[in-house]
Chain A
Amino acid sequence: MSERVALNQFLAGVEKRAYKMALFRVRDVDEAMDIVQDAMMILVRKYASKPEAQWAPLFYRILQNRITDSHRKATLRARLFSMFYSEDPDETTTDVIQSAPDGYAAEPDFQVGIQDATEKLNAEVERLPMRQQQAFLMRAWEGLSVADTALAMRCSQGSVKTHYSRAVHRLREVLKEDWL
């Protein structure tokens, strides 16, 4: 199997999860799509020659960098906008990202046929702090090891364990009445 085919299979295997991870954070379909495409291009152009085993942590590292950049820019834009246009001075500290319209709501098909469990989980994952969200999605959903998740998140393995543990604890707490 050629490396090109292997690369195609790898990207096809992660693209849906990558898109969802981006969407959880940026809550904008087009922005999430751009982030995933950028991550794909960077992986292909710069890291395709790396061993296949390294593609996943490298790809998610690129993806998380792009998500973080996008989130920061959106937050900065929101703050600037609030400073100049907000009528209520107290609202200048509002995190507009948090109060932005739900990305799923913008996609009518998103809501159709989705089970309650998925909806509730999505909502709670979306509320997780960024680092906890990253650790949870990469460990629990993508199945990355602690070491690979640490590489992707640019932090220590201890930090990954802490973020992941807090995320699982929080999700279990808020979902237990509905789930278990």
Chain B
Amino acid sequence: MTSNNEETFLERAREALEAERLDDEIVERLAAARRSALDGLEPGQPLTPQHPLWSFWAPVGAFAVVVIAVALTLSSPDIPEFPYYESELQAAAADELELLEDLEFVAWMLVEEPDAG
């Protein structure tokens, strides 16, 4: 089986396959299928894939949020500690204590500066 014979055989096979004429109806259906496929492209529409704007900005935005969160965490000044009370009773007692301290302060002011009142 020489390559020359094989080439002859293949050439004849190609001719035989090409010689077959499809039915007109089949040809028309194929053309319609092609038109239908191409209709998926709007006239003038570029063939490069178009992505919605958010598909670009969404990851950028997410990354920015993460960067800002990390930056705030690392660079934030010491947050002043606020008094923390486990119960309303403790909170009320603290308020009372502050009030008493204020009263003491007012009394001290009155003693030290009688004319101020």
The answer to whether A19 and B12 touch across the interface, beta carbons within 8 angstroms, is no
List residues 36-84 of chain B with CB under 8 A from any CB of chain A: 36-38, 40-41, 43, 47-49
The answer to whether A121 and B16 touch across the interface, beta carbons within 8 angstroms, is yes
Nearest CB in chain A to that of B10: its residue? A140
Measured as residues with beta carbon below 8 angstroms from the partner, the interface class of chain B is: 20 to 34
- From B6, B10, B33, A15 is in contact (CB under 8 Å) with B33
Q: Does A144 contact B (CB under 8 A)?
A: no
The answer to whether A20 and B12 touch across the interface, beta carbons within 8 angstroms, is no
List residues 113-144 of chain A with CB under 8 A from any CB of chain B: 113-115, 117-118, 121-122, 140-141
A101 to B20, CA, bound (A): 20
The answer to whether B22 and A16 touch across the interface, beta carbons within 8 angstroms, is yes
The answer to whether A180 and B37 touch across the interface, beta carbons within 8 angstroms, is no
Main SS class of interface, B: helix
Nearest CB in chain B to that of A32: its residue? B26
Nearest CB in chain B to that of A122: its residue? B20
Q: Does A146 contact B (CB under 8 A)?
A: no
The answer to whether A41 and B37 touch across the interface, beta carbons within 8 angstroms, is yes
Shortest C-beta distance, B31 to chain A (Å), equals 8
Question: A172: which B residues are within 8 A, CB to CB?
Answer: 1, 6, 9
Shortest C-beta distance, A113 to chain B (Å), equals 7
A-B residue pair count with CB separations less than 8 angstroms: 99
The answer to whether B40 and A45 touch across the interface, beta carbons within 8 angstroms, is yes
Question: A180: which B residues are within 8 A, CB to CB?
Answer: 5, 8-9
Chain A 33-75 per-residue mask, 1 if CB under 8 angstroms from chain B, else 0: 1001100110111001100000000000000000000000000
Question: B30: which A residues are within 8 A, CB to CB?
Answer: 15-16, 19, 33, 36
Given contacts A15-B30, A33-B30, contact A41 B23 (CB under 8 A): no
Question: B20: which A residues are within 8 A, CB to CB?
Answer: 20, 114, 118, 122
Q: Does A78 contact B (CB under 8 A)?
A: no
The answer to whether B38 and A44 touch across the interface, beta carbons within 8 angstroms, is yes
The answer to whether B16 and A118 touch across the interface, beta carbons within 8 angstroms, is yes
List residues of A whose CB falls within 8 A of some B CB.
Answer: 3-4, 7-8, 11-12, 15-17, 19-20, 29, 33, 36-37, 40-41, 43-45, 48-49, 107, 109-110, 113-115, 117-118, 121-122, 140-141, 168-169, 171-172, 175, 179-180
A–B complex contacts, Cβ < 8 Å, 22 sampled = A4-B41, A7-B41, A8-B34, A11-B38, A15-B30, A15-B31, A15-B34, A37-B36, A40-B37, A45-B40, A48-B41, A48-B47, A107-B26, A109-B23, A115-B16, A115-B19, A118-B17, A118-B20, A171-B9, A172-B1, A172-B9, A180-B8
| Beyond A19-B26, A107-B26, A140-B13, 9 extra complex contacts between A and B, CB < 8 Å | A4-B41, A8-B34, A16-B30, A43-B37, A44-B41, A115-B16, A140-B14, A141-B17, A168-B6
